[in-house]
Amino acid sequence: MTPDIFRRRLLDRTVRAALLGGLLAKAPAAAWGADASDSSDSSDASDSSEPEDIAEDFAHEIWDVVVVGSGTAGLCAAIAAREAGARRVVILEKLALTGGHGILSSGSVAVATRRPQSEDPDADIREMTAEMLRAGGDLARPELVRKLARESESAVAWLAGMGVNWRNVRYRAVGSVTARNISTGSPQAGYDYVSALSRRAVAIGAEIRHNTRAVRLLTETMPDGSVQVVGVRAALGGVDDRGAPSMSDFPARAVVLATGGFGANVGMRMKYAPRLDATYGTTANPNRDLLDGAEGDGIRMAEAVGAELVGMEHIQLIPYSGGRLLDFVGGEIWVNDAGERFVPEGVPFAELARIVEDTGNRSFWAISDATTQKGASLGVKLDEAIVREAATIEEMAHGMDVPVGVLRRTIVTWNRDVKRGYDTRFGFPVQGVPIAKPPFYYGRETWSVHFTCGGVAIDEEARVLTARCRPIFGLFAAGEVTGGVHGKDRLGGMSMTDTFVFGRTAGRSAAEWANATAKLREGTAAP
């Protein structure tokens, strides 16, 4: 070891000791049911992991913040980190493309509005919190849910400042319970968010390295046995002189995991939900012909350094890749092989999955007409005959092989119900449009894996937590890689909001940590 490196490592240890005494006293006390009196994490780290202490020497300079994953959570984190003063910020992305699932997303974004002039300015924030807690059950962490609702509006305004042009119409996204979703109104709203975010990230000096797959977190063990994350090892997509995968270390003061969920990893999802075998496609990759980065890499890397995983068995299935054409409730009806509506189309996803599973049939028909504005998928679905057009109800019934009389009665009843605002089939108030204007669209819809609700435990500052509710120093996470925000079921539009709010928080927290460690080091080094 050269004297310089020796000196730096000595300083690092002094800095960490100071941090342990000061900054880290911010660790949450009672959240996640932890024993706040126990400050040792050594058992967490050694039980479930094989953390590798960082090499004596670094080939490169230290990054302030390394973000793993370039979906909306990762992009928000990188931007927020730069805005909070982190100097060197890099995003590692294993694919050749920026944007993750965000770029494919329909772009429904759930927002709670604060009304300062009203008697109860925070009523809508409380309502959104209550909606999420009802859907998420015991597994949704109230403090995370409250934060998401409270900061949703400012996150949306933050994106507007980057050029996202929100359309001022609130709608009820499929899988949500109230009309609180917004989007840009374009058929590719997710693309709009990714474009604006990636432009901003690059403009303010964050780097994006594509084809760079993080394979493990680099750690150091502290004197008390706890683990600090000090960088990321990544495979660069090529091979070295000896034909081995070309690897590089990215030493960092802080690391943000934003690697998305694990829906594309059949082995991993079957570990937690055995019935979800390879016969289930995913909404991101319905024909299994695309690359889908949602393979649980970040979850496994975090687990290897002692992170707690929560809610892993809650994997959301939705109807998406087949006959469904609309992302909002009220323009489409879903009918069974008898030609009857069998489910209220607006129920939360988990409830929907349960009802459909009870029917013993994984698929059904989705029907709409020419009145409603369709998304970008219409052309493709018509081209591939996933969706077909019919000039009359008779022609449609024939194409679906259902009794004409039953289908006509179903549609007539729906049209009458939406005019009256009450769904007589299921006994709910309903808002919708009649299905009356040809051409009619119909297609067979089935279930695809859409969203993994579980992941690494975090606190309100997006710090990754161990089973004992202690933060893993230097490690932050945001977006679908985390668990506990949505509990056992995610409502429509809440995931995008989650990536904006917690991505931003993770970036800020990581920058704060990086800046503090850098300052302490400078202070310690001063004569």
* Sequence-separated (6 or more) residues with CB below 8 Å from residue 523: none
What's the CA gap between 227 and 305, in Å, rounded?
A: 7
Of 121, 9, 4, 51, nearest to 472 by C-alpha is: 51
* N-term to C-term CA, the chain: 23
CA neighbor of 465 nearest in space, from 481, 476, 454: 476
- What is the binding site for ligand FAD (CB under 6 A)? 68-74, 92-95, 100-102, 104-108, 213-214, 258-260, 283-284, 293-294, 297-298, 451, 479-481, 493-496, 499
Which position has the token pair 């119409």?
169
Give yes or no for a contact between 434 and 368, defined as CB atoms under 8 angstroms apart.
no
Give 323 or 493: the residue with its C-beta nearer to ligand FAD. Answer: 493
Beta-carbon contacts of residue 444 (< 8 Å; ≥ 6 apart): 322, 323, 363, 364, 365, 386
- Kindly state the DSSP code that residue 23 receives in the 8-state scheme: G
412: Cβ–Cβ under 8 A, 6 or more apart, which residues?
A: none
Q: What whole-number distance in Å separates Cα of residue 116 and Cα of residue 120?
A: 8
How is residue 146 written in tokens? Answer: 């409250």
Alpha-carbon distance 351 to 357, whole Å? 10
Residue 525 corresponds to which tokens in the numbers above?
């080094």
Output the smallest distance, CB 283 to ligand FAD, in A.
4
